[in-house]
Amino acid sequence: MSTERRTRAWIEVHGDDLRRNLERIRASVGEDVGMIPMVKADAYGLGVARAVGALEPVRPLAYGVATVEEGRELRDLGVTRPVLVFTPVPPGLYRAAVEADLTLCLSELAALDRLREAVRTTGVEASFHVEVDTGMGRSGFGWREAGEWGPLVRESVGAGLGLGGCFTHFHSADVAEVGSVRSQWERFQDVLRALGPLPGEALVHACNSAAALRCPEYAADAVRPGIFLYGAVAGEELPAPEPVMAVRARVLFVRDAPPGSTVGYGATHAARGWERWATVGIGYGDGLPRRLGNRGHVLVSGRRAPIVGRISMDVIVVDISEIPGVGVGDVATVVGRDGDQTITLEEVAAWADTINYEILTGFSRRLPRIWIDRGDG
Protein backbone atom coordinates (compact mmCIF):
# COMPACT_ATOMS: atom_id res chain seq x y z
CA MET A 1 0.00 0.00 0.00
CA SER A 2 2.89 2.37 -0.72
CA THR A 3 1.65 5.94 -0.96
CA GLU A 4 4.82 7.20 -2.65
CA ARG A 5 3.78 5.39 -5.83
CA ARG A 6 0.47 7.25 -5.81
CA THR A 7 2.10 10.49 -6.77
CA ARG A 8 0.70 11.25 -10.22
CA ALA A 9 -1.43 8.50 -11.75
CA TRP A 10 -1.74 4.82 -10.99
CA ILE A 11 -3.86 1.68 -11.28
CA GLU A 12 -5.22 0.02 -8.14
CA VAL A 13 -5.75 -3.72 -8.41
CA HIS A 14 -7.66 -5.83 -5.91
CA GLY A 15 -6.35 -9.40 -5.88
CA ASP A 16 -9.22 -10.65 -3.76
CA ASP A 17 -11.71 -9.44 -6.40
CA LEU A 18 -9.72 -11.29 -9.05
CA ARG A 19 -10.09 -14.50 -7.07
CA ARG A 20 -13.78 -13.80 -6.47
CA ASN A 21 -14.36 -13.44 -10.20
CA LEU A 22 -12.64 -16.77 -10.83
CA GLU A 23 -14.92 -18.35 -8.22
CA ARG A 24 -17.93 -16.86 -10.02
CA ILE A 25 -16.82 -18.52 -13.26
CA ARG A 26 -16.39 -21.75 -11.32
CA ALA A 27 -19.88 -21.37 -9.84
CA SER A 28 -21.26 -20.98 -13.36
CA VAL A 29 -19.61 -24.06 -14.86
CA GLY A 30 -19.42 -26.33 -11.80
CA GLU A 31 -16.70 -27.55 -9.45
CA ASP A 32 -15.50 -30.33 -11.73
CA VAL A 33 -14.49 -28.04 -14.56
CA GLY A 34 -10.82 -27.02 -14.64
CA MET A 35 -9.77 -23.36 -14.70
CA ILE A 36 -7.26 -22.10 -17.25
CA PRO A 37 -7.00 -18.39 -16.40
CA MET A 38 -5.73 -16.37 -19.34
CA VAL A 39 -2.82 -14.20 -18.16
CA LYS A 40 -1.67 -13.04 -21.60
CA ALA A 41 -0.71 -9.41 -22.27
CA ASP A 42 0.66 -9.07 -18.74
CA ALA A 43 -2.60 -10.32 -17.24
CA TYR A 44 -4.62 -7.93 -19.42
CA GLY A 45 -2.33 -5.11 -18.37
CA LEU A 46 -2.67 -5.54 -14.61
CA GLY A 47 0.66 -7.28 -13.95
CA VAL A 48 1.19 -10.98 -14.45
CA ALA A 49 3.42 -11.62 -11.43
CA ARG A 50 0.83 -10.36 -8.94
CA ALA A 51 -2.04 -11.89 -10.92
CA VAL A 52 -0.47 -15.33 -10.74
CA GLY A 53 0.30 -14.76 -7.06
CA ALA A 54 -3.39 -14.00 -6.49
CA LEU A 55 -4.61 -16.97 -8.54
CA GLU A 56 -2.25 -19.68 -7.22
CA PRO A 57 -4.28 -20.27 -4.01
CA VAL A 58 -7.32 -21.29 -6.09
CA ARG A 59 -5.20 -23.90 -7.92
CA PRO A 60 -5.80 -23.34 -11.61
CA LEU A 61 -5.37 -26.34 -13.88
CA ALA A 62 -3.00 -24.33 -16.11
CA TYR A 63 -2.35 -20.78 -17.27
CA GLY A 64 -2.93 -19.43 -20.77
CA VAL A 65 -0.60 -17.00 -22.55
CA ALA A 66 -0.23 -15.77 -26.13
CA THR A 67 3.52 -15.90 -26.69
CA VAL A 68 6.58 -17.96 -25.82
CA GLU A 69 8.06 -14.90 -24.07
CA GLU A 70 5.01 -14.68 -21.82
CA GLY A 71 5.31 -18.37 -21.04
CA ARG A 72 8.97 -18.02 -20.17
CA GLU A 73 8.12 -15.15 -17.86
CA LEU A 74 5.77 -17.44 -15.93
CA ARG A 75 8.53 -20.04 -15.60
CA ASP A 76 10.94 -17.31 -14.40
CA LEU A 77 8.32 -16.43 -11.76
CA GLY A 78 8.48 -20.04 -10.56
CA VAL A 79 5.15 -21.22 -11.99
CA THR A 80 5.18 -25.01 -12.24
CA ARG A 81 1.66 -25.58 -13.56
CA PRO A 82 1.14 -26.27 -17.26
CA VAL A 83 1.41 -23.13 -19.39
CA LEU A 84 -0.48 -23.11 -22.72
CA VAL A 85 0.66 -20.84 -25.53
CA PHE A 86 -2.51 -20.11 -27.50
CA THR A 87 -1.18 -18.20 -30.49
CA PRO A 88 0.78 -19.97 -33.26
CA VAL A 89 4.49 -19.73 -32.57
CA PRO A 90 7.03 -18.46 -35.14
CA PRO A 91 9.18 -21.30 -36.53
CA GLY A 92 12.32 -20.22 -34.66
CA LEU A 93 10.78 -20.53 -31.19
CA TYR A 94 9.82 -24.20 -30.89
CA ARG A 95 13.04 -25.21 -29.12
CA ALA A 96 12.74 -22.34 -26.67
CA ALA A 97 9.14 -23.32 -25.98
CA VAL A 98 10.04 -26.97 -25.36
CA GLU A 99 13.00 -26.04 -23.16
CA ALA A 100 10.71 -23.84 -21.03
CA ASP A 101 8.20 -26.71 -20.72
CA LEU A 102 5.48 -24.73 -22.48
CA THR A 103 2.51 -26.48 -24.08
CA LEU A 104 2.00 -25.29 -27.64
CA CYS A 105 -1.37 -25.08 -29.37
CA LEU A 106 -1.00 -26.36 -32.91
CA SER A 107 -2.91 -25.38 -36.04
CA GLU A 108 -1.24 -27.40 -38.80
CA LEU A 109 0.83 -30.49 -39.50
CA ALA A 110 3.91 -28.39 -40.29
CA ALA A 111 3.76 -27.09 -36.71
CA LEU A 112 3.61 -30.66 -35.46
CA ASP A 113 6.75 -31.44 -37.50
CA ARG A 114 8.55 -28.47 -35.96
CA LEU A 115 7.54 -29.54 -32.48
CA ARG A 116 8.65 -33.13 -33.13
CA GLU A 117 12.01 -31.84 -34.32
CA ALA A 118 12.39 -29.61 -31.23
CA VAL A 119 11.62 -32.59 -28.98
CA ARG A 120 14.18 -34.72 -30.86
CA THR A 121 16.99 -32.13 -30.75
CA THR A 122 16.45 -31.03 -27.13
CA GLY A 123 15.67 -34.47 -25.74
CA VAL A 124 12.87 -32.81 -23.74
CA GLU A 125 9.38 -34.29 -23.87
CA ALA A 126 6.46 -32.04 -24.80
CA SER A 127 2.72 -32.16 -24.99
CA PHE A 128 0.55 -30.08 -27.29
CA HIS A 129 -3.08 -29.08 -27.71
CA VAL A 130 -4.86 -29.26 -31.06
CA GLU A 131 -6.75 -26.12 -31.98
CA VAL A 132 -9.81 -26.64 -34.14
CA ASP A 133 -11.00 -23.71 -36.25
CA THR A 134 -14.80 -23.80 -36.15
CA GLY A 135 -15.30 -20.27 -37.48
CA MET A 136 -12.84 -17.95 -35.75
CA GLY A 137 -10.59 -18.22 -38.76
CA ARG A 138 -7.34 -16.92 -37.29
CA SER A 139 -5.73 -20.28 -36.42
CA GLY A 140 -6.56 -23.94 -35.94
CA PHE A 141 -6.99 -27.11 -37.98
CA GLY A 142 -10.06 -26.85 -40.21
CA TRP A 143 -13.18 -28.45 -38.74
CA ARG A 144 -14.26 -29.76 -42.15
CA GLU A 145 -11.00 -31.66 -42.77
CA ALA A 146 -10.68 -33.60 -39.51
CA GLY A 147 -10.79 -36.86 -41.48
CA GLU A 148 -7.50 -35.83 -43.14
CA TRP A 149 -5.45 -34.26 -40.33
CA GLY A 150 -6.97 -36.24 -37.46
CA PRO A 151 -5.27 -39.59 -38.15
CA LEU A 152 -1.92 -37.88 -38.87
CA VAL A 153 -2.07 -35.97 -35.57
CA ARG A 154 -2.90 -39.14 -33.68
CA GLU A 155 -0.07 -41.06 -35.37
CA SER A 156 2.50 -38.53 -34.30
CA VAL A 157 1.79 -39.05 -30.61
CA GLY A 158 4.45 -41.01 -28.79
CA ALA A 159 8.26 -40.67 -28.89
CA GLY A 160 8.24 -37.82 -26.38
CA LEU A 161 5.19 -36.10 -27.84
CA GLY A 162 1.86 -36.18 -25.99
CA LEU A 163 -1.61 -35.01 -27.01
CA GLY A 164 -2.64 -32.84 -24.07
CA GLY A 165 -5.89 -31.49 -25.36
CA CYS A 166 -8.20 -30.33 -28.10
CA PHE A 167 -10.06 -27.04 -28.18
CA THR A 168 -11.88 -24.43 -30.19
CA HIS A 169 -12.63 -20.72 -29.69
CA PHE A 170 -16.02 -18.99 -30.07
CA HIS A 171 -16.14 -15.80 -32.09
CA SER A 172 -19.39 -14.33 -30.73
CA ALA A 173 -19.99 -15.59 -27.20
CA ASP A 174 -20.17 -11.92 -26.15
CA VAL A 175 -23.49 -11.37 -27.96
CA ALA A 176 -26.80 -12.47 -26.45
CA GLU A 177 -27.87 -14.51 -29.47
CA VAL A 178 -26.23 -17.92 -28.97
CA GLY A 179 -26.88 -19.44 -32.41
CA SER A 180 -23.29 -19.10 -33.63
CA VAL A 181 -21.88 -20.52 -30.40
CA ARG A 182 -24.13 -23.55 -30.80
CA SER A 183 -23.11 -24.13 -34.38
CA GLN A 184 -19.39 -23.79 -33.54
CA TRP A 185 -19.90 -26.24 -30.66
CA GLU A 186 -21.60 -28.72 -33.04
CA ARG A 187 -18.73 -28.44 -35.52
CA PHE A 188 -16.32 -29.05 -32.66
CA GLN A 189 -18.29 -32.12 -31.58
CA ASP A 190 -18.13 -33.46 -35.16
CA VAL A 191 -14.34 -33.12 -35.02
CA LEU A 192 -14.11 -34.86 -31.64
CA ARG A 193 -16.18 -37.76 -33.02
CA ALA A 194 -13.91 -37.97 -36.08
CA LEU A 195 -10.80 -38.02 -33.88
CA GLY A 196 -12.12 -40.87 -31.76
CA PRO A 197 -11.21 -41.38 -28.09
CA LEU A 198 -8.46 -39.04 -26.89
CA PRO A 199 -5.81 -40.05 -24.35
CA GLY A 200 -7.24 -40.08 -20.81
CA GLU A 201 -5.32 -36.96 -19.71
CA ALA A 202 -6.32 -34.91 -22.76
CA LEU A 203 -8.49 -31.86 -21.99
CA VAL A 204 -11.37 -30.70 -24.15
CA HIS A 205 -12.07 -26.97 -23.80
CA ALA A 206 -13.85 -24.16 -25.63
CA CYS A 207 -15.16 -21.39 -23.37
CA ASN A 208 -13.82 -17.89 -22.83
CA SER A 209 -15.36 -15.74 -20.07
CA ALA A 210 -18.54 -14.96 -21.99
CA ALA A 211 -19.18 -18.59 -23.00
CA ALA A 212 -18.43 -19.87 -19.49
CA LEU A 213 -21.09 -17.50 -18.12
CA ARG A 214 -23.63 -17.79 -20.94
CA CYS A 215 -23.31 -21.41 -22.05
CA PRO A 216 -21.94 -23.45 -19.13
CA GLU A 217 -23.27 -26.57 -20.91
CA TYR A 218 -20.25 -26.19 -23.25
CA ALA A 219 -17.70 -26.04 -20.41
CA ALA A 220 -16.35 -29.54 -21.19
CA ASP A 221 -13.18 -30.31 -19.15
CA ALA A 222 -11.88 -26.78 -18.68
CA VAL A 223 -12.66 -23.12 -19.38
CA ARG A 224 -10.34 -20.25 -20.33
CA PRO A 225 -11.63 -17.07 -18.67
CA GLY A 226 -9.80 -13.79 -19.21
CA ILE A 227 -11.60 -10.46 -19.30
CA PHE A 228 -14.17 -11.23 -16.57
CA LEU A 229 -11.42 -12.11 -14.09
CA TYR A 230 -9.96 -8.64 -14.48
CA GLY A 231 -13.20 -6.83 -13.76
CA ALA A 232 -14.65 -6.13 -17.20
CA VAL A 233 -18.10 -7.16 -18.43
CA ALA A 234 -17.71 -10.19 -20.73
CA GLY A 235 -20.64 -9.49 -23.04
CA GLU A 236 -24.26 -8.47 -23.57
CA GLU A 237 -26.67 -9.29 -20.78
CA LEU A 238 -23.93 -10.89 -18.69
CA PRO A 239 -23.45 -10.08 -15.01
CA ALA A 240 -20.99 -7.40 -13.93
CA PRO A 241 -17.83 -8.79 -12.31
CA GLU A 242 -16.25 -7.50 -9.11
CA PRO A 243 -14.46 -4.34 -10.24
CA VAL A 244 -10.82 -5.48 -9.59
CA MET A 245 -9.19 -2.31 -10.95
CA ALA A 246 -9.41 1.46 -10.71
CA VAL A 247 -7.42 4.17 -12.47
CA ARG A 248 -6.72 7.31 -10.48
CA ALA A 249 -4.76 10.50 -11.11
CA ARG A 250 -3.98 13.63 -9.13
CA VAL A 251 -5.20 17.13 -9.71
CA LEU A 252 -2.05 19.11 -10.56
CA PHE A 253 -3.37 22.61 -11.12
CA VAL A 254 -6.65 24.48 -10.64
CA ARG A 255 -7.75 27.86 -11.99
CA ASP A 256 -10.72 30.03 -12.76
CA ALA A 257 -11.17 30.52 -16.50
CA PRO A 258 -12.76 33.79 -17.61
CA PRO A 259 -15.44 33.60 -20.33
CA GLY A 260 -13.91 32.77 -23.71
CA SER A 261 -10.74 31.14 -22.28
CA THR A 262 -9.63 28.22 -24.40
CA VAL A 263 -8.11 24.92 -23.39
CA GLY A 264 -5.90 22.27 -24.99
CA TYR A 265 -4.41 21.74 -28.46
CA GLY A 266 -6.61 23.20 -31.15
CA ALA A 267 -8.45 25.25 -28.51
CA THR A 268 -11.50 23.01 -29.04
CA HIS A 269 -13.30 24.19 -25.90
CA ALA A 270 -13.91 27.76 -24.80
CA ALA A 271 -15.37 28.71 -21.42
CA ARG A 272 -19.02 29.67 -21.89
CA GLY A 273 -19.09 31.79 -18.75
CA TRP A 274 -16.74 31.77 -15.83
CA GLU A 275 -15.58 28.15 -15.50
CA ARG A 276 -13.28 26.43 -13.03
CA TRP A 277 -10.84 23.94 -14.54
CA ALA A 278 -8.62 21.29 -12.99
CA THR A 279 -5.60 19.84 -14.78
CA VAL A 280 -5.28 16.11 -14.01
CA GLY A 281 -2.04 14.17 -14.46
CA ILE A 282 -3.01 11.50 -16.99
CA GLY A 283 -3.07 11.59 -20.80
CA TYR A 284 -2.86 9.50 -23.92
CA GLY A 285 0.78 8.72 -23.03
CA ASP A 286 -0.73 6.72 -20.16
CA GLY A 287 -3.17 4.92 -22.44
CA LEU A 288 -6.17 7.19 -21.93
CA PRO A 289 -7.83 7.25 -25.37
CA ARG A 290 -7.61 10.59 -27.14
CA ARG A 291 -11.24 10.08 -28.21
CA LEU A 292 -12.27 11.09 -24.68
CA GLY A 293 -11.51 14.75 -25.45
CA ASN A 294 -14.72 16.80 -24.99
CA ARG A 295 -16.59 13.49 -24.45
CA GLY A 296 -15.48 11.64 -21.35
CA HIS A 297 -15.73 12.36 -17.64
CA VAL A 298 -13.69 11.71 -14.53
CA LEU A 299 -14.91 11.62 -10.94
CA VAL A 300 -13.76 14.29 -8.52
CA SER A 301 -15.11 14.40 -4.95
CA GLY A 302 -17.62 11.71 -5.97
CA ARG A 303 -19.06 13.83 -8.79
CA ARG A 304 -18.72 13.82 -12.56
CA ALA A 305 -16.34 16.35 -14.08
CA PRO A 306 -16.49 16.55 -17.91
CA ILE A 307 -13.21 16.48 -19.83
CA VAL A 308 -12.84 19.81 -21.67
CA GLY A 309 -10.63 20.17 -24.73
CA ARG A 310 -8.41 17.53 -26.25
CA ILE A 311 -6.49 14.92 -24.29
CA SER A 312 -2.78 15.81 -24.14
CA MET A 313 0.00 13.24 -23.81
CA ASP A 314 0.48 13.89 -20.11
CA VAL A 315 -2.61 15.70 -18.82
CA ILE A 316 -6.31 16.29 -19.25
CA VAL A 317 -8.35 19.29 -18.15
CA VAL A 318 -11.74 18.79 -16.51
CA ASP A 319 -14.52 21.23 -15.72
CA ILE A 320 -15.05 21.42 -11.95
CA SER A 321 -17.30 24.49 -12.02
CA GLU A 322 -20.05 22.52 -10.27
CA ILE A 323 -17.75 20.81 -7.76
CA PRO A 324 -16.70 23.03 -4.86
CA GLY A 325 -13.50 22.65 -2.84
CA VAL A 326 -11.26 20.86 -5.35
CA GLY A 327 -7.57 21.47 -4.73
CA VAL A 328 -4.17 20.51 -6.04
CA GLY A 329 -3.29 16.98 -4.92
CA ASP A 330 -6.90 15.74 -4.88
CA VAL A 331 -7.47 12.38 -6.55
CA ALA A 332 -9.54 12.10 -9.74
CA THR A 333 -11.00 8.71 -10.69
CA VAL A 334 -10.69 7.86 -14.38
CA VAL A 335 -12.02 4.29 -14.05
CA GLY A 336 -13.65 3.02 -10.87
CA ARG A 337 -15.74 4.20 -7.97
CA ASP A 338 -15.66 7.42 -6.01
CA GLY A 339 -18.46 7.87 -3.49
CA ASP A 340 -21.68 6.66 -5.10
CA GLN A 341 -20.50 7.35 -8.67
CA THR A 342 -18.68 4.79 -10.84
CA ILE A 343 -17.03 5.03 -14.23
CA THR A 344 -16.78 1.58 -15.76
CA LEU A 345 -14.35 0.29 -18.37
CA GLU A 346 -17.42 -0.21 -20.57
CA GLU A 347 -18.36 3.47 -20.27
CA VAL A 348 -14.84 4.58 -21.20
CA ALA A 349 -14.88 2.11 -24.11
CA ALA A 350 -18.17 3.56 -25.39
CA TRP A 351 -16.77 7.13 -25.29
CA ALA A 352 -13.72 5.88 -27.18
CA ASP A 353 -15.69 3.80 -29.73
CA THR A 354 -13.86 0.63 -28.76
CA ILE A 355 -14.20 -2.37 -26.43
CA ASN A 356 -13.36 -2.70 -22.74
CA TYR A 357 -10.52 -5.15 -23.61
CA GLU A 358 -8.67 -2.46 -25.52
CA ILE A 359 -9.08 0.11 -22.75
CA LEU A 360 -7.92 -2.36 -20.07
CA THR A 361 -4.86 -3.63 -21.94
CA GLY A 362 -3.99 -0.16 -23.27
CA PHE A 363 -2.85 1.53 -20.04
CA SER A 364 0.84 2.21 -20.37
CA ARG A 365 3.88 1.32 -18.28
CA ARG A 366 3.87 4.84 -16.88
CA LEU A 367 1.07 3.91 -14.47
CA PRO A 368 2.33 1.84 -11.55
CA ARG A 369 0.06 -1.11 -10.80
CA ILE A 370 -0.58 -1.02 -7.07
CA TRP A 371 -1.93 -4.33 -5.84
CA ILE A 372 -4.06 -4.48 -2.74
CA ASP A 373 -4.59 -8.08 -1.72
CA ARG A 374 -6.11 -8.85 1.63
CA GLY A 375 -5.69 -12.55 0.95
CA ASP A 376 -9.14 -13.20 2.39
CA GLY A 377 -10.36 -14.97 -0.74
Ligand X SMILES: *Cc1c(COP(=O)(O)O)cnc(C)c1O
Residues identified as active-site: 40, 265
85 burial type by CB count under 10 A (0-12 exposed, 13-18 middle, 19+ buried): buried
Footprint of ligand X on residues 155-184 (CB under 6 A)? 169
Dihedral angle, C-alpha 189, 192, 196, 197, nearest 10 °: -100
H or E element in which residue 98 lies: helix 94-99
Cα separations in angstroms, 361 against 76, 242, 358: 22, 18, 5
User: CB of residue 175 vs ligand X: minimum separation in angstroms?
Assistant: 12
CA distance 296 to 351: 6
Q: Which is nearer to ligand X, 224 or 369 (CB)?
A: 224
- Binding residues for ligand X, rule CB under 6 A, total 11
Q: Does 86 bind ligand X (CB under 6 A)?
A: yes
Comparison of 154 and 171: residue with beta carbon closer to ligand X: 171
Is residue 128 close enough to count as binding ligand X by CB under 6 A?
Answer: no
Closest C-alpha among 45, 70, 65, 69 to residue 364 = 45
CB burial readout 45-60, b (16+ within 10 A) else e:
bbbbbbbbbbbeeeeb
Q: What is the DSSP letter of 158?
A: B
Residue 231 interacting with ligand X (CB under 6 A): no
Determine, following the binding rule CB under 6 A, whether residue 288 of this chain makes contact with ligand X: no
Which of these ranges, 52-60, 68-76, 218-226, 368-376, lies near ligand X under the rule CB under 6 A? 218-226
63 binding ligand X? (CB under 6 A): no
Q: Is there binding between residue 369 and ligand X (CB under 6 A)?
A: no
CB 309 within 8 Å of CB 293: yes
Q: Which pairing describes strands 161-167 and 369-372: parallel, antiparallel, or unpaired? A: unpaired
User: Is 134 a residue that touches ligand X (CB under 6 A)?
Assistant: no
Judged by beta carbon, residue 208 or residue 333, the one nearer ligand X is: 208
| Closest CB to ligand X among residues 202, 317 | 202
Binders of ligand X among 13-52, rule CB under 6 A?
A: 38, 40
Is residue 208 close enough to count as binding ligand X by CB under 6 A? yes
Name the residue whose CB lies closest to ligand X: 226
Give 47 or 226: the residue with its C-beta nearer to ligand X: 226
Select the residue interacting with ligand X from 67, 107, 127, 209 (CB under 6 A).
Answer: 209
| Residue 83: CA count within 13 A, CB half-sphere | 25
Does residue 227 bind ligand X (CB under 6 A)? yes
277 lies in the site for ligand X, by CB under 6 A = no
Which residues does residue 369 pair with via DSSP β-bridges, in sequence order?
11
Min separation Cβ 230 and ligand X, Å: 8
Q: Residue 86: how many CB atoms within 10 A of its CB?
A: 21
Question: Should residue 226 be labelled a site residue for ligand X when binding is judged by CB under 6 A?
Answer: yes
| CB of 169 or CB of 310, closer to ligand X | 169
Candidate list 165, 225, 287, 296; residue touching ligand X; CB under 6 A: 225
Phi, psi (deg, nearest 5) at residue 302: 75, 15
* Binding positions for ligand X, rule: CB under 6 A: 38, 40, 86, 169, 208-210, 224-227
